[in-house]
A and B are shown apart, each in its own frame.
Chain A
């Protein structure tokens, strides 16, 4: 069983002319858990990952796998599996041949392409030209490339983008299982909600700089709880809640009550004799902290 090594970013910086894309990124990604690399589009996630993988030369600083730069790894595909957002396929080549090209280049066994296709559920589609693949199938093929050498470290750029709900559930389980086996798993996303059920730790960058690093739960600093509630007689419901001392605001599909819990609101409505048509607790702490950190409310 391949075991993961930590991914270490140290003072990683990239400038394009006058524009600073990534500045002074320093953090460590530990094995045995799934780490989310988050930030809005254009925050520098992809550039950081490309520097980590030796595809883009840093202006200064280093990014290594247990102290070794990607280009210096003895057997890169068996150490690190990576899938980047850009669709890097020749459309006229079949999926199996696509994988065979890189398996041969890395000196992997002949069976590696089929094993990787099997792992991502594309076994029946290996002979089809990649040009005819859907976005979800391309994502799976990208993941198959990452898994080709059964590596101890996975670096995936936006792996959930383009997957259907079933695919999202599948990749969550797969990544959790990989981390549980002791591998290092780093996945990027521009949406916290997309990965919050998958990741243990988060690293958040904005405008190329690190703004937060820690456990996912550390983001949930806000203790505000909101309840969304609805009734046919919405005005009377709002009046009852205001009388009870709550702060309310009107939504298109109901009334939003600040600092409340669903049980209390439901009882109040029951006691006032108002039949409810909807009642739900909203937890906005994570998402709101995220948006505050990246400082770009509304752009997401």
Chain B
């Protein structure tokens, strides 16, 4: 027996580590998340509760600010997960990959495992960016950043889990849509445009709002437990955090399975 699953995981980690994409995306994500979280902390904290924006209780402010790690940062692990798969098709590196380990299911399992961990790393970095800047700004405006609260750290844990699952969803998308350009377009269009619009439109009627809570972004917000979307839509009762997590797991698993039986098992030429 060859190195099997453990070998596949080690190999996939080396693939991630030995090109530049991971840190380029991490740097962009950290800057983007810090900008959004810092900006929001400055606006809400600076204006204070008396401004004519939506009234957000001071106790909810910190988590709302920190949640930019996932609410704007999640696109990066999705993109990275998708690119980890599509680049194999693009550079025809599936040939040596399947020569080194012809058990294709194990290879894909190793990739998904690896990307889950990498997604968690993206989550940690995004939270460092959002909490690092957000907490210091909130404190500067005299708002308690709630860093001593267990709730805050439970939120941090759920956010890391969400980012890990987003990366796995990226793997599923990549194996479902092996064309690199198509995968990038789908990730950007869906996360930045289609889903926000759908969630907004769905919130106008009850039944559509019921369906919309199963959209991946909504499920992610439910898992994390706070986000700018839920704050704006008045915090309507959505899924429980664990239900949101299961919805994300389902997206990742279903996309990966379908992709395995379609593109991943195809002839490599």
Contact = CB atoms under 8 A, between A and B. Distances in A.
B15 A71 contact: no
Contact of A107 (B7, B87, B91): B7
Contact of A92 (B1, B19, B103): B19
A91 B2 CA distance: 27
A102 B20 CA distance: 19
B3 interface: yes
A46 B269 CA distance: 9
Contacts of B93: 88-90
B98 interface: yes
A1 interface: no
B11 A104 contact: yes
Nearest to B103: A71
A74 B20 contact: no
B14 A88 contact: no
Nearest to B19: A92
B101 interface: yes
A88 B2 contact: no
Q: What band does the interface of chain B fall in when counting residues whose beta carbon is under 8 Å from A?
A: 20 to 34
Interface in B191-235: none
A56 B267 contact: yes
Interface residues of A, number: 37
B267 A104 contact: no
Given A50-B268, A71-B103, A75-B2, A104 B10 contact: yes
Contacts of B1: 74-75
A91 B20 CA distance: 11
Given A101-B11, A104-B3, A107-B7, A70 B269 contact: no
Interface stretch (A79-87, A115-123, A204-212, A265-273): A79-87
6 contacts: A55-B98, A82-B99, A88-B95, A98-B18, A105-B101, A106-B2
Interface of B: 1-4, 7-8, 10-11, 14-15, 18-21, 87, 91-103, 107, 267-269
